[in-house]
Structure 1
Amino acid sequence: MRPKAGVDPARLLRAAPRLLRGIRRRLRPRRVSAEAARWAIRLFLGREPTGREEVAFHRGHGDLNSLRTGFARTREFREFLARIGGEGRYAAPLFLLRPPASPLVPWHFAPPSLAAPVSQLCTAAQLEEPDFAWLCGALGLRPDPHRKVWEFAFVVAALRKAGLLRPGLRALGFGVGQEPIPAFLARQGISVLATDAPPEAIAGQGWESTGQHATGLAPLRRPSLVPNPEFDRLVRFTSCDMNAIPPELEGFDLCWSSCAFEHLGSIEHGLRFVEESLRTLKPGGLAVHTTEFNLSSDAETFEEANLCLFRRHDLEALLERLAQAGHRPWPLNLHPGDAPMDEHVDLPPYALPHLKLLVSRFVTTSIGIVVQKAG
């Protein structure tokens, strides 16, 4: 058989080794990346890899789903599940049920509601309320069973209950990222100063690449909620380090943050921020903040530079100090919910429903804290 006209046999022979290498690469079993293996060890087992050999072993999985299944079957992960009460199911510990030790901390224990919010946990029943659907519609969000959506709804529900959704007020947002609350408040005729961390304060932490950080007004616009000219008239942006709030930020009717103060470096830093946020308010002003709550333990917790899980006694101590200073915390309600969805603990790779999840060996969810400044 003669080669086709124009084809150089010598060139084909020279290219043969390269073509064979390409065929071998295509036939070689696929492997997950070393970084994926390392993160799986951290997320599922709550520790760092023991060495290169352990990472190389887990890279043998052909895809991420195989990797996830493999880790779910490990002895370490099964022992963790046994400690939290079963195969990825959450059982509420008794420390959630007892009243606060201090009489200064107002207390309420009943299924929480967005129709009558207090300082409360994210639960499944709230997502079934007509108020959740209305709040999501007002914010331009899908009513997904996701705790981040609940956080935005909770902030607005608390402001609504306090009668603070009216024109002429001044609002201050901390760590706003790309959330819809500034646009929603502008639609109500409220002047908003939206803030987020200076770029140098979050360098290397990944916020700038995950759609969770703002450096100006552009990512906060929501033309479907409020026209851009009205948005530009009512909303301003500035950088603000939540660990060092500038003294000129004062005289606001309300302030808020949504899952931001757990990233301030330590539990102490986060609690101090809540206290300092009240300084920005007029007498009688309202602070509404959401954060991470440790549902597994009131003793041990996860505390790293980029994420902290607040325990019950951390928040109770904060509310007691605020009450001693004359401020009025809204009642603390630690009812964790009793629907099947409230028992579900989401595992990586995360999916809906996403109300409770694992961080290291702790189950966490979102909690909303509301405090009225002394009048």
Structure 2
Amino acid sequence: MIQNGLGRLLRPFVRLSRLPSRFAAMERSVRRMETSHREHRREIQQALAQLMLPAESVWRRQPPLLDASVPGERVFEQSAMCRQDSFQQPYFSYWTRRLGERLRYHRKLWEFVFVSQALWERGVCARGRRGLGFGVGREPLAALFASEGVAVTATDLAPDGVVEAGWQATNQHAGGKEALRNSVVCPDDLFDRNVEFRFCDMNHVAADLVGYDFCWSACALEHLGSIEKGLAFIERSINCLVPGGWAVHTTEYNVSSDKETVDNLGTVLFRRRDLEALAQRLRAKGHEVATMDWSPGEGPVDRYLDMPPYRPDPHLKMMLSGFTTTSIGIIVRRGLGT
């Protein structure tokens, strides 16, 4: 009887002693479920990608490189979104050649062409002008503008900031002027004469970076830590310009939602509401903001949604953190009286 009573008293302690092994079993079960979930997610993504991918005749070795000897006229009177039909125009082939790129349906190429064409048609991509590039990485734009006689100040994050931001292994960071040299785009003598390089944190732009006819960034400001920091950078970049100077920036745009988005992370997704609020802020300060063309495009490549691991082609829209995103270009002119 005493033994039975003691057994009843000890029973809860026996159960407690088994808890660590039970927790360990639960953790193993959770890990198996997570592994299974990742595997199923990858399988679903691959299946969807194959189902959604347009016929190869639509995108492989397409669009054709057209014979174009001059840029377009009044192409980007409005700010715009990356779309398939842009790639099929003569001006796009012109800038693709000038940039030393291969014509393909890729949104990064669209960003380079958008910046080039927008600045060229506003008359500032010319000899005697001064241009300021932010977060330039290894892009060809600094060399392109230098080839036109523009005095270019190219900037990128200092090496210690690169490690903190996680850019060390991406091969997209410019550690100095030599990383921007591109003899296909700009002869070395012109490059040496017209390009200077400085380190610059886009969240803390140096006060002496002023007096430029134009400035640009290509898909850099979404990596500044938050949506608000990205918008604040655009405002700050305008202070680098002479009155009447132009700022042209491209960034990540959330196509699928104007409410939920990604914020306060390494890559953020700007919504329509964010960019419209920015336009109001800038206009209130006396600046001109080009009206946005919000059309996402209706071509088969526009409708294709690329998923990780991302394809080299076609790649106009992609899935990122559960949202559909693409590139968008913003054009701002500093007010003449500011």
Partner residue of 1:44? none
Indicate yes or no: 2:32 matched with 1:53.
yes
Q: Which aligned pairs between 1:139-218 and structure 2 lie closer than 5 A?
A: 139-218=99-178
C-alpha root-mean-square deviation of aligned residues, in Å?
2.2
Residue 209 of structure 1: SS of its match in structure 2? coil
Q: Tell me the equivalent position of 1:298.
A: 258
State the partner residue of 2:82. 122
Alpha carbons 2:45, 2:307 under 8 Å: kept: no
User: Pick from 171, 196, 200: which aligns with 1:240?
Assistant: 200
Deviations for 1:286-314, whole angstroms, at most 9, x for unmatched residues? 00000011001111101242100000010
Of 202-211 and 143-152, deviating more is 202-211
Per-residue CA shift, 1:13-69, capped at 9, x if unaligned?
A: xxxxxxxxxxxxxxxxxxxxxxxxxxxxxxxxxxxxx9532455479x7xxxx9843
Residue identity in the other structure for 2:318: L
In structure 2, relative to structure 1, the CA distance for the partners of 1:299 and 1:236 (3 Å cut) is same
2:98 equivalent in structure 1: 138
Q: Which runs of 5+ in 1 are unaligned?
A: 1-49, 82-86, 90-112
Matched, 1:265 2:251: no
Q: Does the C-alpha gap of structure 1 residues 72 and 287 become closer, same or farther in structure 2, counting only changes over 3 Å?
A: same
Of the three residues 269, 274, 281, the one matched with 1:321 is 281
Q: CA deviation at 1:202?
A: 2.7
> Counterpart amino acid of 1:69?
E
Q: Displacement of 1:114 after TM fit?
A: 8.3
Secondary structure, counterpart of 2:137 in structure 1: coil
Matching residue's letter, 1:146: H
Which residue identity lines up with residue 144 of structure 1 in the other structure?
A: R
Q: Which residue of 2 aligns with 1:344?
A: 304
Kept in 1: contact 2:73–2:121 (CA 8 A): no
Which whole-Å CA distance do the structure 1 matches of 2:323 and 2:44 have between them?
A: 21
Deviation at 1:364, TM superposition (A): 0.3
Post-superposition Cα deviations, 1:165-207, rounded to whole Å, max 9, x if no partner, equal: 2101110000000000000001000000000012222314432
- Name the TM-score, length of structure 1 as normaliser: 0.72
> Which of 319, 322, 327 is matched with 1:361 structurally?
322
Q: Which residue of 1 aligns with 2:61?
A: none
> 1:116 offset after TM fit, Å?
1.4
When structure 1 is superposed on structure 2, of 198-207 and 289-298 the one drifting more is: 198-207
Question: Which of 271, 276, 296 is 1:311 aligned to?
Answer: 271
Report the counterpart of residue 280 of structure 1 in structure 2. Answer: 240
1:227 counterpart = 2:187: yes
Match of 1:372?
333
SS at match of 2:314: coil
Identity %: 45
Q: What's the offset of the Cα at 1:88? A: 5.1
Alignment: residue pair count: 287
Amino acid at match of 2:224: L
Which residue does the alignment assign to 1:335? 295
- Does the 8 Å contact 1:302/1:359 carry over to 2? no
Aligned equivalents of 1:235, 1:353: Cα separation in 2? 33
Q: Secondary structure at the match of 2:154?
A: strand
Q: Distance in 2 between matches of 1:303 and 1:249?
A: 28
Q: Would you say the 8 A contact 1:115–1:157 is kept in 2?
A: no
